[in-house]
Structure 1
Amino acid sequence: MDKSKGTAVHDKKYEKFMTWLHENNFPESKLALANFTNTGRGMMATSDIEAGEVIVSVPRKFLITNDSLTKIYGSKHALGPHQLLALHLVLVSRDKQSWWKPYMDLLPIHFNTMPVKYAKVLVGHLPTALKEQVLQQKENIEQDYLNCIKYLNTRNETMTREEYEWAWLCVNTRCIHMTIMDGTAKGGSIALAPMLDFLNHTSEAKIESGFNVRNQCFEIKTLTPYNKGEQVYINYGPHDNLAILKEYGFVLSQNSYNFVLLDKEVWDLYSEVESKRGYEIKKQILEGAGYAGDYSIKADEISFRLMAALRLLALPGTTEPGFDRRVMDWHDVVMGQTDLISTDNERKALIMLQDICKKVSAQAKNEIEILSRITETHPEAEFHPFALYFLRQIWNESNDIIEQTLVYLSDKLSRL
């Protein structure tokens, strides 16, 4: 966790925001908005904070929830919580006299470090799995926009795609997930919470959070102590950098949850090695055992699922005598009744993984090389410099994991 000291933010918008909180009896905290060298804006401890202290407490009237918006828009609509919160942000952002204006003025102006906003030249260099997820996210935004337009038509109002995309991403990057506040609350459990949403993420932070029914506030308690001047963090959950980049538009410099997904490579190898019939039979075996897909490697771990798929692939063809017996041996390994099918099978499976890793490593190195020259090869392309920096980091991290796995595989094969 970065322990560097921050520099307090002093600007009119932030001062108006703090005045707004104070005038509306927002509980005092030991936090102040500050700039930090490595993470940009975040919350700084204005005095020492002990483990077990509540670092921020957001009263119910400051929480923008599906329940609170139902009182404004009614319940006779087909909008989900995310759609409704985003629509509300668009409409409130237009109202210069809104009670929420001090909060609205501190929301991000753009989300250009998020892959969903990348220029085409960068989208083309996203890892395959991330690219598919980003395209799905783009479709989700479009569908939510169209649903909101249908609702606005009933009110003779409209909005642009750009307005809604900005609001949708505000909700996506800043919302909290909370337990239902009371028995009468309806709808989803996401909410926007001023002040709390300025806290940055690290996987090292330990917190407890929830709605305190006694004081009607959503509270976050830190289990990690902080010294005056240090950045105070929360923990969004056990996410790898690909997930963090897609959902929040940044990456962590050190992330123990990082992994490389090899689903495409494994299924491609199945197609190369097996006949069409053999492919279908072995895929059905994997599906039946619950081992189809989610094949990953980490810096210090090869997933059991991945090895299960490769051990099955390493079994002799489905038409050869004794295949059913060998599948039973495979099931014994999957069920943990034995460690290996055979030394020969294990060697073949490890060699297959070694070949996959070599191909993926070559791809990663190629992507790193292309991205290092992309401003020269595409001088006309416009993208945020951090977008390129984060994307290069993603590929470097993937290659590091693959290289460590190759060292492990080489050592393991030499001992078989």
Structure 2
Amino acid sequence: MGRKTPSSNSSNKKTLSKKGKPPKEEKELFEAVDSLLRLTTLPLHNSLSQSLECQKQISNLLDRIKFLEDKLAKKNKSTLGHVEKYQDRNSKEALIKFNTWLKEHGAELHGCSISNFEGYDLGIKVEQEIPQSTLVIAVPRKLMMSNETVKDSIVQDLVEKVEILKNMPNVLLTVYLLVEKLKNDSFWKPYIDILPKSYNTVLYFTMSELEELKGSPTLEVALKQIKSIVRQYAYFHKLFWGSDDPVSELMRNRFTFNEYCWAVSTVMTRQNMIPSEDGSTMINALIPLWDLCNHTNGTISTDYNPQLKRSECLAFRDFQAGEQLFIYYGARTNADFFIHNGFVYEENENDIYWIRLGVSKSDSLEEKRRELLKKLGIWSIAEYSIKKGSRPVDGRLLAFLRVFNMNEDQLDHWIQSEKCSDLQYPECALDTTLERKSWTFLKARLTLLLASYKTSLEEDQMLVKDKISDNLKMAIKMRLTEKKLLKNCLEYVEDMIRK
């Protein structure tokens, strides 16, 4: 990961040379971070149970690290004391300063205001009737915090030395944001002050909240995400304590896991892509004001205007006074929203459940199945989508089911056929026995997937109404949306079997 990370010994030597003997808590912190880095750089685990066990160890180490960082912060007012200067994002003073900053630098908000909405926190309130296609928000490029504006900051020198910052633009934006937050004179302070102080991303989940996802394919993705971010934290902690550059000097006593978790979550939930200055590529950026808009089903209505050098957001439908102004984030699944945005949208029209299927190597007809699948442009082991709506099984999955359940004569016929692509269509004329066998196979798989959850769909519908933590409620909503997809598909498959 980039240049060679300073070892624990080199970090301790730097501390000793500057302060004499390091405090006990500082030494314990270095040791815990070393352990965390080793644990998170282990190879990927072969099973979910191993990944969960690893996460428990990570969680225990993080609890210790956060305790030590809090303890050191109380001894050193330059750490979390700096963060306490930031106001409540909902305060009148913070919003006035933010609005003033926006207007001074050319941002526009037409017929709307920033307001608080129950269940959403801050959002954009419609103050007058707004017809479809009306320009509502315009944010000039100079207000956007991007990987290009890094070039004018102290972070740029570090970029030349650290590979992860050169190769991972989202990580670069994360470190840049954190540096700007910790500076006393940041241009973006009015924007940073109205950002959430914490998030509902999986980085904020407790072990017990994560375990509510058992049976869900989203759990494995969440564990990988957490492990990756924790490894980044450990890497940067050692880097900042073992280097003398301006960023390290600023961060050394202020960089904590909670701070990094906040910065990562801010970037994950709010980053967007804009064209570079020369238009040659797309770059990561945070767009103040626009990123206060919450999501609903709709169409993309935001674009970058290269002539005026600004991002423009139009109303994708008619909005009435008193409504919240929503935008459409794009065609993403609830698993995407859950992992990267920290919410679950139950009405998501683009939701998908991914099911992994493949041809076994012990199958006596494996070679012929692989050959036919290759003709269809399908891998012998792949993930297939279970979609929302009246036709949850697409042509790609349907073709696999048929190939997987064919006998040798059927395989030979379709391998030689010039119309093998017909296997992707429901209307394809096939032997009734093969069709029933294919649908019965999928029914068994769907039933098994539903049974892997520790609660039923009906139980989740009751649990989500209880007074529980936001994270726990979100985990339940996540598995609930998955079960709805599976159950809808199961009903469709049963109808197909009856035909």
TM-score range, shorter chain: 0.7 to 0.9
Deviation of 1:341 after TM superposition, in Å, equals: 3.5
Residue type at the aligned position of 1:219: E
> Given the alignment of the two structures, is residue 358 of structure 1 paired with residue 442 of structure 2, yes or no?
no
Provide Cα deviations, 1:96-120, integer angstroms capped at 9, x if missing partner: 3323222111111112x22233212
d(CA) in 2 for partners of 1:26, 1:161:
33
Aligned partner of residue 294 in structure 1, secondary structure: strand
Cα–Cα, structure 1 residues 154 and 137, in superposed 2: closer, same or farther, change >3 Å?
farther
- Where 2:486 maps in the other structure, the secondary structure is helix
Give 1:192 shift.
0.8
Give the 3 Å change call, closer, same or farther, for CA 208–40 of structure 1 in structure 2.
same
Q: Does 1:296 align with 2:385?
A: yes
In structure 2, do the counterparts of structure 1 residues 304 and 154 end up closer, same or farther at CA, with 3 Å as the change threshold? Answer: farther
Partners of 1:87 and 1:226 in 2: how far apart? 38
| 1:381-414 CA-partner distances (Å, limit 9, x unpaired) | xx97222222222222222233332332222222
CA contact (8 A) 2:203 2:261 kept: no
Deviation for aligned residue 1:57: 1.1
**Per the alignment, do residues 57 and 323 of structure 1 end up closer, same or farther by CA in structure 2, a change over 3 Å counting?**
closer
The equivalent of 2:397 in structure 1 is 306
Q: Secondary structure at the match of 1:300?
A: coil
- How do residues 139-178 of structure 1 correspond to structure 2 at under 5 angstroms? 139-145=227-233, 148=236, 152=240, 153-155=243-245, 156-157=248-249, 158=252, 159-178=255-274
Residue type of the alignment partner of 1:333: D
Could you say if the C-alpha distance between residues 365 and 135 of structure 1 is closer, same or farther in structure 2, counting changes exceeding 3 Å?
A: closer
Identity %: 24
What letter matches 1:22 in structure 2?
K
AA paired with 2:186? S
Would the aligned equivalents of 2:395 and 2:424 in 1 still touch at CA under 8 Å? no
1:31-68 CA-to-partner distances (Å, cap 9, x unmatched) read 32222235343111122222222211111221111111
* Aligned-pair CA distance for 1:331: 3.2
Please report the TM-score for the alignment, with normalisation by the length of structure 1.
0.81
Q: In 1, distance between residues paired with 2:426 and 2:126?
A: 53
Shift of 1:322: 7.0
Counterpart residue identity of residue 409, structure 1: V
**Please, which moves more after superposition, 324-333 or 238-247?**
324-333
Q: Does 1:387 align with 2:471?
A: yes
> Could you tell me which residue of structure 2 aligns to residue 258 of structure 1?
351
Q: Is the 8 A contact 2:402 2:423 kept in 1?
A: no
Cross-structure match for 1:82: 170
Q: Do residues 61 (structure 1) and 142 (structure 2) align?
A: yes
SS at match of 1:231: coil
Rounded Cα–Cα distance in structure 2 between residues aligned with 1:109 and 1:224: 31
Identify the residue that residue 233 of structure 1 maps to in structure 2. Answer: 326
1:29 aligns with 2:80: no
Q: Distance in 2 between matches of 1:335 and 1:362?
A: 28
Aligned partner letter, 2:272:
I
Going from structure 1 to structure 2, the CA distance change for 1:335 and 1:228 (only over 3 Å counts) comes to: closer
Q: Residue in 1 aligned with 2:208?
A: 121
Q: One-letter code of the match for 2:205?
A: Y
Q: Displacement, 1:351?
A: 0.8
Which runs of structure 2 are paired with 1:37-116 in the superposition (5 Å)? 37-72=118-153, 73-74=155-156, 76-77=160-161, 78=163, 79=165, 80-111=168-199, 113-116=200-203
C-alpha distance in structure 1 between counterparts of 2:426 and 2:385, whole Å: 23
Aligned equivalents of 1:51, 1:115: Cα separation in 2 = 35
> Which letter does structure 2 place at the counterpart of 1:176?
N
State yes or no: 1:208 paired with 2:302.
Answer: yes
Q: Does 1:246 align with 2:327?
A: no
1-side partners of 2:345 and 2:450: how far apart?
Answer: 22
1:315 maps to amino acid = M
Distance in structure 2 (CA, Å) of the matches to 1:396 and 1:25: 44
Residue 191 of structure 1: aligned partner = 285
- Partner amino acid, structure 2, of 1:358: T
Match of residue 101, structure 2, among 20, 25, 30: 20
Shift in Å at residue 241 of structure 1?
A: 1.3
Q: Which is worse superposed, 150-159 or 216-225?
A: 150-159
Q: Is the 8 A contact 1:286 1:309 kept in 2?
A: yes
Aligned length: 387
Gaps of 5+ in 1: 1-8, 376-382
How big is the shift at 1:25?
A: 4.1
| Alpha-carbon distance in structure 2 between the residues aligned to 1:85 and 1:246 | 18
Task: Give the whole-Å Cα distance in 2 for the aligned partners of 1:371 and 1:225.
Answer: 35
CA contact (8 A) 1:365 1:399 kept: no
More contact order relative to length (CA 8 Å, sep ≥ 6)? 1
Secondary structure of 1:218's match? strand
In the alignment, structure 1 residue 138 sits paired with structure 2 residue 229? no
1:304 partner amino acid: G
Shift in Å, 1:313:
1.8
TM-score, length basis structure 2: 0.69
Letter in 2 for 1:141: I
Match of 2:487, SS state, is helix
| CA–CA separation in structure 2 for the residues paired with 1:332 and 1:182 | 44
Tell me the secondary structure at the aligned position of residue 275 of structure 2.
coil
Q: Could you tell me whether the CA contact under 8 Å between 1:240 and 1:258 is conserved in 2? A: yes
State the SS of the aligned residue for 2:108. coil
Distance 1:10 1:47, change over 3 A: farther
Unaligned ranges ≥5, structure 2? 1-89
Give distance in 2, aligned partners of 1:386 and 1:51.
Answer: 34
Aligned equivalents of 1:41 and 1:205: distance in 2?
22
Residue 279 of structure 1, CA deviation: 4.8
Match for 1:103: what amino acid? Y
The 8 Å contact of residues 124 and 325 in structure 2, kept in 1 or not, is answered as yes
Residues 360/106 of structure 1: CA separation in 2 closer, same or farther (3 Å cut): same
- Cα 1:322–1:244 change in 2 (3 A) is closer
Q: CA deviation at 1:240?
A: 1.8
Aligned-partner residue type, residue 190 of structure 1: N
Partners of 1:70 and 1:384 lie apart in 2 by: 44
Q: Work out whether residues 45 and 227 of structure 1, in 8 Å CA contact, stay in contact via their aligned partners in 2.
A: yes
